[in-house]
Chains A and B, each alone.
Chain A
Amino acid sequence: MPDAIGPFDLAAKAAFYAVAAGTLAGAWFAVSARNLFRAALGLALALFGVAALYLFLEAEFLAVTQLLVYVGAILTLLVFGVMLTARIADPSVARWNRQAAGASVLAAVIGGGLVWAYLQTPWPAETALAPPVPLPAIGRMIVSGYLLPFELLSLLLLGALVGALYVARKE
């Protein structure tokens, strides 16, 4: 996103923080909702939020790809899974297992540690940020420098497909 000037600057900041908050809220829902469908929706919110954050970072292609793949495919898949496995709204089933306390401590430590590390680091000034990469450049990178990884990725996806079919077959 180009540097906002004037009154858009504040609005941009506010928008960013709102998106960030929404992302984190959605993530929290995904983790804590008893009803799995609601958890899936929370995940969707989080994924949307991440896509928006990509836009803030001026990575448009990635934002769209995120939406297409993550939200459109993976989330759909997860929802299918949720639907296929019953007991999605059993109130007696606990959400979290007994590790909740320890895990929260650990997550706090890790998160806190990371945050603290980020705050301590001397970041370069905003003017030192690299310019956004135009889309054609990304396309060219895909088919030249990063060709091998993407071909391997397609093989991986093929293997995952076959494997998933085998694992999930009806006996």
Chain B
Amino acid sequence: MKLALIPLFPLLSFAILILFGRRFGKFAPAVSLAALAGSLALSIHLFLSLLSSSLPAPHLSFTWLSFGGQSLRMGLLADPLSITMCLVITGIGWLIMLYSIGYMHSDPRFSRFFAYLSLFFCAMLTLVLADNFILLYIGWELVGLCSYLLISFWFEKEAAANAGKKAFLTTRVGDLGLLAAILLIAKLTGNLSFTDLSATAAALGRWAPVVAVLIFWGAAGKSAQFPLHVWLPDAMEGPTPVSALIHAATMVAAGVYLVARTMPLFLPNPDALLVVAVLGIITSFFAATVACTQTDLKKVLAYSTLSQLGLMMVGLASGEPFPGMFHLVTHAWFKALLFLGAGSVIHAVHHQEITRMGGLWRPMPVTAATFILGSVAMAGIPPLSGFWSKEEILVAISHSLPAPFLALVFAVSGMTAFYISRAVILTFFGSPKDSHSHPHESPWVMTGPLVVLSVGAVGVGLLGSRWTGHAFQHFLGIQTQAHEGGHTLQQISIAVAGTGILLALARYGFGWQLLPVFARRALSPFYRLIAGKYFVDELYDALLIRPVQTLARKAFSFDAKVVDGAVNGAGSAGLAASRAKRWIDEHWVDGAVNGLGITVGRVGAAFRQLQTGLVQNYLMIAFGSAVVLFLLWKGILR
């Protein structure tokens, strides 16, 4: 079935590149690009066939294992939700892969990068195409592995290696929740397929909220929601294409996709949805505040991603999957664009601090223009994409969640506009702070994708708007409701975004101080708290990491002293035994053998004295013996 080829093309590319990649040299990306292009083409084909016909979604299913009386079915399902994800993944992924050719071109492990990327695509596509929890979990874990491999791609840097470890371990904590949920579903209902989840939800009974929260816990790990968000900023140690692909557009979106996919399990449980909403808004708000203080360009974008993911979760918490998914799609476009643009800047100036940049729009016009387009899209200015998806979220929240949530989302929007404008102004405008560097525009392999992505960032949102007759919603099979109060929300949203941009312009563009001195001093402790990311990492370190390390040290010393002591003791005992044996061997055994030899020697020496060499002696003995014998014979001598 053609469905299976979508994840299999990248898998093949991975196998080829990991084994023979070195030999391809700089042509290695050709393999992975070709494979991914194949997946993209197939996704488009499936998309078109879904659009045109009213046949049910293609579904590939087979029995993988049978045990006892039960059998485990595996399969791939290409319904609109999955195909949407496939298009996002393969399309944006292909552009990012093209970009990587330029970004990674001098890296010694060039081909391995593309091998890992291919493996990632295989895993992610499996994840979104899976039709049951088990296959999804398999993809889920593989994606985590690829994230680890790619974050710590430059593993010679200790920070990168640690970041990879941190990412893997933190998402692992989340994965346990997902695994527990899967096991509960298996035990309580026996049906792990996605095809009839509302029945599954009913069958779970009392456990349904627990299962839902556990699933969300898994999603929280992968999508970096509070309190499992700590790995995402550190993951910026990886190469920028990795940040763009995995930590902006796709992997972090897996959590959102999971919740959207399993929405029937959440719907009957308002408490579960509330948990989602609360954690989502916490993540979103606090991440937005931190983003305002960061000076590393990639960290700004990382916290921005955290904040936007929080928004997606809040959107999902409304009970409708569409707003969250819509924002996922638009966010994928503009966030990928922003990250690749940041990568282009970093490639040119060789550092990541916006405070040392400035005036880069002159040497790098394409990068600057596309980056600004992405920023405007994220800020939520119509008619760019971010506006439409954010509007959907606002509408959904206003229907289903209490008012504080709405207020906080507006605050987040304002902060989003503020911090991204701040980043833009400090990076591209003003006077260059660093007179020694001579930045230049990046090659076409890098700027090309930027341009294509900017088209998407600008236009994708329109697919869900009324200008296209809500085409996206129709595609996903969702009824569009009339948006009462939607106009008001739109206006507030635009106003908030505009305020944020203007404030940033004032503070950083013109250099005005926005707050009086006393206010600045009073607020400075808060500033330090925010800039320190609320010291969550430090808290985890003290509460969790240090105790575990102490335990590990104690276990190690136990091992070294007791276990090794026993082993060494056994060794010493063996050594003593062998020394005793050696003594016995030397003194008794050798003594016996030597003694025998010495005895023989002495006997021989004694007999040797007969050989005097004197003939007269021999004669004497001969005749004497003859006489004696004669006497004996005659009986005279007895």
Q: Which of B77-85, B219-227, B331-339, B619-627 makes up part of the contact surface?
A: B619-627
Instruction: List the B side residues contacting A110 at CB < 8 Å.
Output: 623, 627
Of residues 585 to 638 in B, which have CB atoms within 8 Å of A's CB atoms? 614, 616-617, 620, 623-624, 627
Nearest-neighbor residue (CB-CB) of A109 within chain B:
B627
Of residues 83 to 110 in A, which have CB atoms within 8 Å of B's CB atoms? 97, 99, 102-103, 106, 109-110
Instruction: List the A side residues contacting B614 at CB < 8 Å.
Output: 97
Q: Shortest CB–CB separation between residue B51 and chain A, in angstroms?
A: 130
B residues neighboring A (CB under 8 Å) = 614, 616-617, 620, 623-624, 627
> When the two chains form their complex, are residues A102 and B624 in contact, meaning their CB atoms are under 8 A apart?
yes
> When the two chains form their complex, are residues B623 and A106 in contact, meaning their CB atoms are under 8 A apart?
yes
> When the two chains form their complex, are residues B627 and A99 in contact, meaning their CB atoms are under 8 A apart?
no
Between-chain CB contacts (< 8 Å), 13 pairs: A97-B614, A97-B616, A99-B616, A99-B617, A99-B620, A102-B620, A103-B620, A106-B620, A106-B624, A106-B627, A109-B627, A110-B623, A110-B627
- Binary interface encoding of chain A residues 97-137 relative to chain B, with 1 for a CB under 8 A from any of its CBs, else 0: 10100110010011001000000000000000000000000
Instruction: List the A side residues contacting B616 at CB < 8 Å.
Output: 97, 99
Q: Shortest CB–CB separation between residue A31 and chain B, in angstroms?
A: 13
9 pairs of A and B residues whose beta carbons are closest in the complex: A99-B620, A106-B624, A109-B627, A99-B616, A102-B620, A103-B620, A106-B623, A110-B627, A97-B616
Q: Shortest CB–CB separation between residue B108 and chain A, in angstroms?
A: 92
Nearest-neighbor residue (CB-CB) of A106 within chain B:
B624
Instruction: List the A side residues contacting B627 at CB < 8 Å.
Output: 106, 109-110, 113
Nearest-neighbor residue (CB-CB) of A110 within chain B:
B627
Nearest-neighbor residue (CB-CB) of A113 within chain B:
B627
Instruction: List the B side residues contacting A113 at CB < 8 Å.
Output: 627
Distance of A99 Cα from B618 Cα, bound (Å): 11
Instruction: List the B side residues contacting A109 at CB < 8 Å.
Output: 627
Instruction: List the B side residues contacting A102 at CB < 8 Å.
Output: 620, 624
Distance of A160 Cα from B390 Cα, bound (Å): 143
Taking A102-B624, A106-B627, A113-B627 as given, write out 13 further A-B residue pairs in contact, using a Cβ cutoff of 8 Å, ordered by the A residue number. Answer: A97-B614, A97-B616, A99-B616, A99-B617, A99-B620, A102-B620, A103-B620, A106-B620, A106-B623, A106-B624, A109-B627, A110-B623, A110-B627
Distance of A102 Cα from B617 Cα, bound (Å): 10
Nearest-neighbor residue (CB-CB) of B630 within chain A:
A113
- Binary interface encoding of chain A residues 49-68 relative to chain B, with 1 for a CB under 8 A from any of its CBs, else 0: 00000000000000000000
Q: Shortest CB–CB separation between residue B82 and chain A, in angstroms?
A: 121
Distance of A85 Cα from B55 Cα, bound (Å): 142
Instruction: List the A side residues contacting B624 at CB < 8 Å.
Output: 102, 106
Q: Shortest CB–CB separation between residue B303 and chain A, in angstroms?
A: 119
Distance of A102 Cα from B624 Cα, bound (Å): 9
Instruction: List the A side residues contacting B623 at CB < 8 Å.
Output: 106, 110
Instruction: List the B side residues contacting A99 at CB < 8 Å.
Output: 616-617, 620
Distance of A97 Cα from B618 Cα, bound (Å): 13
Q: Shortest CB–CB separation between residue B434 and chain A, in angstroms?
A: 113
Q: Shortest CB–CB separation between residue B563 and chain A, in angstroms?
A: 79
Distance of A109 Cα from B616 Cα, bound (Å): 18
Nearest-neighbor residue (CB-CB) of A103 within chain B:
B620
Distance of A110 Cα from B625 Cα, bound (Å): 12
Distance of A110 Cα from B620 Cα, bound (Å): 12
Q: Shortest CB–CB separation between residue B632 and chain A, in angstroms?
A: 13
Distance of A102 Cα from B623 Cα, bound (Å): 11
Distance of A19 Cα from B620 Cα, bound (Å): 30
Q: Shortest CB–CB separation between residue B637 and chain A, in angstroms?
A: 10
Distance of A97 Cα from B614 Cα, bound (Å): 11
Nearest-neighbor residue (CB-CB) of A99 within chain B:
B620
Distance of A120 Cα from B332 Cα, bound (Å): 146
Nearest-neighbor residue (CB-CB) of A105 within chain B:
B624
Q: Shortest CB–CB separation between residue A88 and chain B, in angstroms?
A: 20
Distance of A103 Cα from B616 Cα, bound (Å): 10
Instruction: List the B side residues contacting A97 at CB < 8 Å.
Output: 614, 616
Instruction: List the A side residues contacting B617 at CB < 8 Å.
Output: 99
Nearest-neighbor residue (CB-CB) of A102 within chain B:
B620
Distance of A99 Cα from B623 Cα, bound (Å): 13
Distance of A102 Cα from B620 Cα, bound (Å): 8
Q: Shortest CB–CB separation between residue B362 and chain A, in angstroms?
A: 122
Q: Shortest CB–CB separation between residue A93 and chain B, in angstroms?
A: 16
Distance of A106 Cα from B627 Cα, bound (Å): 8
Nearest-neighbor residue (CB-CB) of B617 within chain A:
A99
Distance of A113 Cα from B620 Cα, bound (Å): 17
Distance of A103 Cα from B621 Cα, bound (Å): 10
Q: Shortest CB–CB separation between residue B338 and chain A, in angstroms?
A: 120
Distance of A106 Cα from B617 Cα, bound (Å): 13
Distance of A165 Cα from B329 Cα, bound (Å): 133
Distance of A102 Cα from B616 Cα, bound (Å): 12
Instruction: List the B side residues contacting A103 at CB < 8 Å.
Output: 620
Instruction: List the B side residues contacting A106 at CB < 8 Å.
Output: 620, 623-624, 627
Q: Shortest CB–CB separation between residue A26 and chain B, in angstroms?
A: 22
Distance of A99 Cα from B616 Cα, bound (Å): 8
Distance of A167 Cα from B627 Cα, bound (Å): 35
Q: Shortest CB–CB separation between residue B624 and chain A, in angstroms?
A: 6
Q: Shortest CB–CB separation between residue B620 and chain A, in angstroms?
A: 5
Q: Shortest CB–CB separation between residue B248 and chain A, in angstroms?
A: 116
Distance of A45 Cα from B136 Cα, bound (Å): 138
Distance of A103 Cα from B627 Cα, bound (Å): 12
Q: Shortest CB–CB separation between residue B623 and chain A, in angstroms?
A: 6
Q: Shortest CB–CB separation between residue B617 and chain A, in angstroms?
A: 7
Q: Shortest CB–CB separation between residue A21 and chain B, in angstroms?
A: 27
Q: Shortest CB–CB separation between residue A101 and chain B, in angstroms?
A: 11
Q: Shortest CB–CB separation between residue B634 and chain A, in angstroms?
A: 10
Q: Shortest CB–CB separation between residue B410 and chain A, in angstroms?
A: 137
Nearest-neighbor residue (CB-CB) of B624 within chain A:
A106
Distance of A110 Cα from B627 Cα, bound (Å): 8
Q: Shortest CB–CB separation between residue A1 and chain B, in angstroms?
A: 35
Q: Shortest CB–CB separation between residue B625 and chain A, in angstroms?
A: 10
Nearest-neighbor residue (CB-CB) of A97 within chain B:
B616
Distance of A90 Cα from B620 Cα, bound (Å): 26
Distance of A156 Cα from B624 Cα, bound (Å): 31
Distance of A112 Cα from B616 Cα, bound (Å): 22
Distance of A102 Cα from B625 Cα, bound (Å): 12
Q: Shortest CB–CB separation between residue A114 and chain B, in angstroms?
A: 11
Distance of A110 Cα from B617 Cα, bound (Å): 17
Distance of A94 Cα from B617 Cα, bound (Å): 17
Distance of A76 Cα from B235 Cα, bound (Å): 129
Distance of A34 Cα from B227 Cα, bound (Å): 129
Q: Shortest CB–CB separation between residue A69 and chain B, in angstroms?
A: 26
Q: Shortest CB–CB separation between residue B470 and chain A, in angstroms?
A: 138
Instruction: List the A side residues contacting B620 at CB < 8 Å.
Output: 99, 102-103, 106
Distance of A149 Cα from B614 Cα, bound (Å): 34
Q: Shortest CB–CB separation between residue B633 and chain A, in angstroms?
A: 13
Q: Shortest CB–CB separation between residue A32 and chain B, in angstroms?
A: 16
